[in-house]
Amino acid sequence: MKLAMLARNPELYSHRRLVQAARKRGHDIEVIDTLKCYMNISSHRPDVRYKGRSLEGFDAVIPRIGASITFYGLAVLRQFEMMGVYPLNESVAIGRSRDKLRGMQLLSRKGIGLPVTAFAHVTSQADDLIEMVGGTPLVIKLLEGTQGIGVVLAETRSSARSMIEAFGGVEANILVQEFIKEAEGTDIRAFVIGGKVVASIQRTGARGDFRSNLHRGGKAKPIKVTPEERSTAVRAAKILGLNVCGVDMLRSNHGPVVMEVNSTPGLEGIETATNVDIAGMVIEFLEKHAKPNHTKTRGEG
């Protein structure tokens, strides 16, 4: 197969591993800087151009679109879809996952366990928001935050009120969530490929930090998920329409609750902890499913 990978930094571990896995299996793969693509969006012949040439003839595209370039990255991916190129994850599905509020609304509608969550923009009703999620301690998140940035723990009512009012002062969209104390600073990432959990890890935050992101000094170890956790991860991926994703869950007293579904999950932490060839499995999925004009939405939606 001839594969394109949309990625800004080819030296990242995840990107190097995907290139390595593709070439090991005999495929031709090119890493394309997403922001250097430009497009002919005329209806009779959609085209993506890169460094003065047309990006034609690809069998599949692997989108590794950073959160900061979501808008432009999805436009490029949609163009590939309109050209009939098979995407590892479709643009519509990635868009759902990147919109945290929309993603949670979709998961909630289908009965997926979630932490009690309130959403607000500018509000003078901080106390009401606090009550909605069961009081303090609680977690406040910027809607656009990633990798633990813009996530704070408010342990008292006064600190929660001050933080909510501060975010309101800069007109930020925020999520206010119950704090799952029994998770004890750990979460589970289940890596889903093609409707199956292929590997899972438990992530523990750095000392004194309730966030478990590996980018922020957290540690990971392999873990066996329960049947309920496995089912939750697979269902969450399916609801958002993602073929490949990392589903982050907490173990609460009332079962697994989904914190986030990551459509561009990193490979380093989970491959290192589990010794599972995730990159190879991703390429194998494309071998089985990549067909011309096989995108469900064809860039629509």
- List pLDDT tens digits, range 250-275: 999 989 999 999 999 999 999 999 99
> Hey, which bits of the chain come out as E strands?
2-6, 28-32, 37-40, 47-50, 53-54, 60-63, 86-87, 117-120, 138-142, 151-154, 174-178, 186-193, 196-204, 219-222, 244-252, 255-262
Contact between residue 235 and residue 112 where contact means Cβ atoms under 8 Å apart: yes
> Three-state DSSP class for 25?
coil
Q: How far apart are CA 205 and CA 197, in angstroms?
A: 23
The residue assigned the tokens 């989904």 is: 258
pLDDT at 44: 80
Angle between helices 100-109 and 91-98 (to 10 degrees): 100
Instruction: Go through the domains of the chain in sequence order and give each one's CATH number.
Output: 2-95 (3.40.50.20), 117-179 (3.30.1490.20), 182-284 (3.30.470.20)
Distance of CA 67 to the CA centre of its chain: 9
Query: Could you give the C-alpha distances from 276 to 91, 262, 279, in angstroms and in order?
Result: 27, 19, 9
DSSP 69: G
pLDDT at 299: 46
Written as one letter, the residue type at 123 is T
pLDDT at 112: 97
Long-range contacts formed by 41-50: CB under 8 A, 24+ apart? 41/79, 46/79, 46/82, 46/83, 47/79, 47/83, 48/76, 48/79, 48/80, 48/83
Question: 48-77 burial, b if ≥16 CB within 10 A, otherwise e?
Answer: bebeeeebeebbbbbbbbbeeebeebbbbb
Residues of the chain with pLDDT below 70 are 43, 122, 145-148, 206-217, 296-301
Q: How far apart are CA 245 and CA 88, in angstroms?
A: 10
